[in-house]
A = this chain, B = another copy of it.
């Protein structure tokens, strides 16, 4: 099966580069997170809300991934946080090589947290280790409560699920407890944060998750 062999060679190279990045983050005491979610799940809006609410943004850096545009990098820069943009030009996920190639373009000497916002996609980014310490699935209430059942790999591979737009629940007939129960039926250990950038719900808890980690 040439397809399978080719795939595994690509993955092996990816994982080797990710391991080097992970070691670098560990040595520099940088907490690296990989945000995965659908297009429009509110990943960038979540970051903007968190940065607005804490001076800890000064200890942060962001790598933005998109098929096209530098929109998200510009939004993060406007929030006062160093950011670079990877445009995949058609590819459906970031890979470890793209991320590693960006590290020297960020002021990582001053950073304690590196956030990688992946391409909007609940499937393809799951297979690609980027060297992160923690993987977050970001899901909007508007997406509906059955998404963990329909895209189980994403929820299985993550440590944390961040539910966004909690304020929309009454407008879309989605039961947030049901969404969480579905996610935990796939991954019982999943940590859950329920947020709304609009009302501020859960934003402090998200900032705490990012910044209040015991030093190694």
Interface residues of A (CB under 8 A from B): 2-3, 6, 10, 38-40, 66-69, 71, 90, 92, 119-124, 140, 142-144, 146-147, 149-153, 165, 167-168, 171-172, 198
Contacts and interface: CB of A to CB of B under 8 A. Distances in A.
Given A38-B38, A120-B150, A142-B168, 11 more contacts: A3-B6, A39-B143, A39-B151, A40-B142, A67-B151, A67-B153, A90-B123, A121-B122, A142-B142, A167-B171, A171-B198
A151 B38 contact: no
A146 B6 contact: no
A39 B150 contact: yes
A69 B150 contact: yes
A123 B92 contact: yes
Query: Quick one: copies of this chain in the complex?
Result: 2
A168 to B, nearest CB: 6
Contact of A149 (B71, B121, B140, B168): B71
Nearest to A75: B146
Contacts of A69: 146, 149-150
Contact of A168 (B3, B38, B168): B168
Contacts of A147: 39-40
Nearest to A124: B92
